[in-house]
Every structure is written in C-alpha cells, then in structure tokens.
C-alpha cells in the first residue's frame, strides 16, 4: 500500500493531501500551519498510515526547508523536487488547470505516485547544500551592496580628493580592508596631503603604513604628492566633508568584512561536500567561484544526463523543428537559474582573460569568437561546454565512490 503525501509549501502554512493509487483520497487537502502542535499532529498521522509513505514537495526558495527538515528528522521519507518538474507534469486529460494551493498539493501527490521509485530522499547533504545556497544568495546581496558603497565613496572623493581611489590596486585583505579605502579615511581631502611639505607627508605616510601594516614605497609617496599638488577639490576641508567621507568608508569596510566572512564560510561548507576536490581542480574555479557553483548546481546526481544540467542553467539551445522545417541556430532557453548563469559567466570571463591554451572550454570559445559569433553567443556556448565537463567529472567521481564502497 503506497501513501503519497503532496505538500504545497508557503511561508507560514502548507497545504497537505495524501493519496493512494486509484486516486483514493486518504486526507483531503487541508492547511497545516507551521507551528509545533500542527506539525506534530501531521507527523503522527503520517506515521499511523499502513504501508509505505513518501512525502514530496517543491524545491522552492527557502519556504520548503523547515517542513522538509521537521519531517525528515521524524524519520519520514521526504523528497524535494524542482518546481519545473511539477509544473510540466500532466496526469489528467483536461483543459482545466486550476492554480490553487489545494490543486497544487493534489498534483504533487499524483506526481509522487507516478515517480515513486525515482524520488530521491532529502538528507544531511541536502541540508548542507541548502545552507550553502542561502549563504551564496547573501554573498551576492552583500557584493551588490559593496559595489554600491564603493561607487558612493568614489563619488564623494570626486569632490574632495579626485582620483585617490586609483592610487593603489592592492587586493582586499582577509578582513575586507583595501589600501586605497584606508588611505582616504586618513587623507580624506587633497589638502590633507598637499597641505604638508613633501618631507612631512613622507614621514606621516610612512608611519601610517607601519601602523596599518601596508608596504611603504618612496616612489609611491612622490607620485601621490605630485598628483595631489595639481588637483582641484570642490568641497572645503572642514568637519562636514570629513564626516561624509569617513562615514562612507566605515560603511564600505563593514560590508567588505561581511563579504569576506561569507566567502570563507562558503568555502568551509563546500569543503564538506563529496565533489569539492573535483570542482576545485577544474580550470577557472577558485575558492570563491567553486562554492558558488556547488551552491547553485546542487546535487549533480539528480540530473539524469548532461543536457538536464544545461537546461537547469538555461544555457541549452532551444529546439525549433516541425516537419521539413528545422532551424539550425536557436536562442538559449534561459528557463533555468539566473544565479547559476551569472556565476558561469564570471567563470567564462576569467578563462577568457587568462587564455589557457590547454583548456578545452577556452579553445571552444576562442573558436566561436574567431568565427565572428557575438559575445553572448560564445560565452553561453562556453558555459554549456563547461557544465557538460562539470557533470561528467563529478558524476564519474560519485560512481567511483560508490564502487569503492562495494
């Protein structure tokens, strides 16, 4: 006896129905609020059923995670599937397609019965992947905030110390600080530099470098002083200007610190996943992009073939064929994850800039580029090829792990 539990998850409640083969209704669609008493009642009811029971819900955002966590911890089989699979599933010959929570729960239950043997159980790795994905979304949010704060500071410097942001190109430290940002916190106005003699500024700057732990260069001191002597500042050197610049620096440094913390924690979480060494060994992937890829791709084994993964990313060419008509060149579907496509394009951009002649992805993109293909076309083609390689290597690694266990 099979019991299919279909759950349509929302933010504060879920609609649940339980069905058996033959469209037998064990539990009509009903709302279960996300509180301890109602969840415990649902768990007790599910466990009281005779036969085998499987729970299925859509893998939507973060709303499904509490329900999946509670039920799986109670020892119940839970599977979270891609919403597109549920959306495209049709088991009734009807033109009516009602879009209600009750109808969605019933559809998920019927999908559960139809895909009974193929459903994958939600487990510990899924929890890690969900956490990693959430961190990646937060990482993207704070990166956007950091960019906005950086642009805001530069616009202020255009009024107080034009070009000061170009004095140094040192990468960010582990705490998120950058040399040019710390520099303008102390030298927030051009007169902070040219108001001193070259000797006085050199001594002051040298002490600043020692205190902050930055490298000191006599050549750089002269360069900064000479450029500063010829600049025009629109804002006066007063307390209001000092407050504006330093406040902008504080906000940028705070956001940058958060970005670096998330970067480290993402790498730490990703390192607990089985495919971590394989992904990190791929050309074009590092401690930032590797965890981002794993966060957005998730468990590769849930994809039955390479084309399923490229379709998930939305970098697969769409089909246009009917009868004697067959279009040779098609637009990509773009139905998949925009977050994954964004990460893939960053990876492709890095590969193009380094131009490694032993990298098949670069050679493929370079070939398309030499054929006169537009930028977006060869970048998408490269992302498609990269994902196919990713799928093959990670899937092969998982298979080798399974063989070693036997």
Q: Which of 222, 249, 269 is the last residue of a domain?
A: 269
What residues in the chain have per-residue pLDDT under 50? 319-329
142 and 230 inside one domain = yes
What's the pLDDT at 318? 55
113 and 45 inside one domain = yes
What's the pLDDT at 366? 95
261 and 141 inside one domain = yes
Residues in CB range of 160: below 8 A, 6 or more apart: 188, 189, 190, 233, 234, 235, 237, 241, 245
**What is the count of structural domains for the chain?**
3
Strands 2-9, 52-58: pairing kind: parallel
Looking up tokens 């000797």 gives 199
Residue 62: how many CB atoms within 10 A of its CB? 12
What's the pLDDT at 16? 96
Q: Which of 269, 296, 317 is the last residue of a domain?
A: 269
What's the pLDDT at 1? 86
Contacts within 8 Å (CB) and 24+ apart, 236-245: 237/160, 237/189, 237/191, 237/192, 237/195, 241/159, 241/160, 241/188, 241/189, 242/188, 242/189, 244/156, 245/153, 245/156, 245/157, 245/160, 245/184, 245/185, 245/188, 245/189
Phi, psi of 395 (to 5 degrees): -65, -40
What's the pLDDT at 321? 43
CATH number at residue 233: 1.10.287
**114-138 per-residue burial string, b: 16 or more CB within 10 A, e: under 16:** ebeeebeebeeebeebbebbebbee
**364-397 per-residue burial string, b: 16 or more CB within 10 A, e: under 16:** bbbebbeeebeeebbbbbbbbbbbbebbebbbeb
What's the pLDDT at 323? 45
311 and 381 inside one domain = yes
Nearest to 283 by CA among 172, 359, 201, 185: 359
136 and 263 inside one domain = yes
63 and 102 inside one domain = yes
Q: Which of 122, 143, 172 is the last residue of a domain?
A: 122
11 and 111 inside one domain = yes
147 and 255 inside one domain = yes
Q: Could you tell me if 1 and 20 are in contact, meaning their C-beta atoms sit under 8 angstroms apart?
A: yes
Q: Give the span between the Cα atoms of 360 and 402, in whole angstroms.
A: 28
118 and 10 inside one domain = yes
325 and 398 inside one domain = yes
Q: Could you tell me if 307 and 316 are in contact, meaning their C-beta atoms sit under 8 angstroms apart?
A: yes
325 and 384 inside one domain = yes
Q: Give the span between the Cα atoms of 378 and 374, in whole angstroms.
A: 7
103 and 45 inside one domain = yes
Domain extent, residue 150, equals: 131-269
């Amino acid at each position: 006896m099979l019991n299919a539990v279909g759950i349509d998850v929302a933010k504060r409640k879920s609609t649940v129905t339980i069905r058996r083969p033959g469209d037998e209704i064990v539990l009509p669609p009903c709302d279960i609020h996300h509180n301890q008493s109602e969840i415990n009642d649902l768990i007790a009811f599910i466990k009281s059923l005779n036969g085998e029971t499987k729970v299925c819900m859509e893998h939507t955002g973060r709303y499904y995670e509490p329900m999946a966590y509670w039920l799986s911890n109670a020892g119940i089989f839970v599977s979270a599937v891609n919403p597109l699979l549920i959306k495209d599933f049709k088991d009734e010959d009807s033109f009516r397609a009602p879009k209600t929570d009750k109808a969605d729960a019933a559809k998920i239950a019927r999908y559960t019965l139809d895909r009974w043997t193929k459903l994958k159980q939600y487990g510990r790795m899924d929890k890690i992947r969900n956490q990693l994905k959430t961190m990646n979304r937060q990482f993207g949010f704070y990166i956007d905030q950091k960019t906005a704060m950086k642009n805001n500071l530069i616009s202020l410097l255009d009024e107080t110390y034009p070009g000061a942001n170009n004095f140094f190109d040192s990468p960010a430290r582990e705490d998120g600080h950058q040399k040019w940002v710390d520099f303008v916190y102390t030298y927030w106005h051009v007169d902070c530099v040219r108001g001193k003699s070259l000797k006085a500024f050199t001594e002051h700057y040298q002490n600043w470098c020692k205190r902050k732990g930055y490298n000191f260069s006599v050549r750089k001191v002269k360069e900064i002083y000479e450029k500063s002597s010829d600049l025009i500042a629109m804002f006066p050197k007063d307390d209001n200007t000092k407050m504006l610049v330093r406040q902008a620096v504080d906000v940028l440094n705070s956001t940058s610190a958060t970005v670096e913390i998330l970067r480290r924690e993402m790498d730490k979480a990703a390192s607990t996943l089985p495919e971590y060494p394989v992904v990190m060994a791929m050309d074009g992937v590092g401690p930032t992009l590797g965890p981002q890829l794993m966060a957005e791709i998730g468990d590769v084994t849930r994809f039955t073939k390479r084309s399923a993964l490229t379709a998930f990313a939305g970098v697969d060419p769409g089909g246009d064929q009917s009868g004697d008509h067959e279009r040779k060149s098609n637009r990509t579907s773009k139905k998949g994850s925009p977050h994954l496509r964004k990460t893939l394009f960053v990876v492709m951009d890095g590969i193009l800039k380094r131009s490694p002649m032993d990298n098949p992805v670069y050679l493929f993109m370079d070939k398309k580029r030499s054929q006169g293909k537009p930028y977006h076309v060869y970048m998408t083609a490269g992302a498609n090829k990269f994902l196919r390689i990713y799928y093959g290597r990670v899937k092969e690694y998982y298979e080798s792990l399974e063989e070693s266990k036997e």
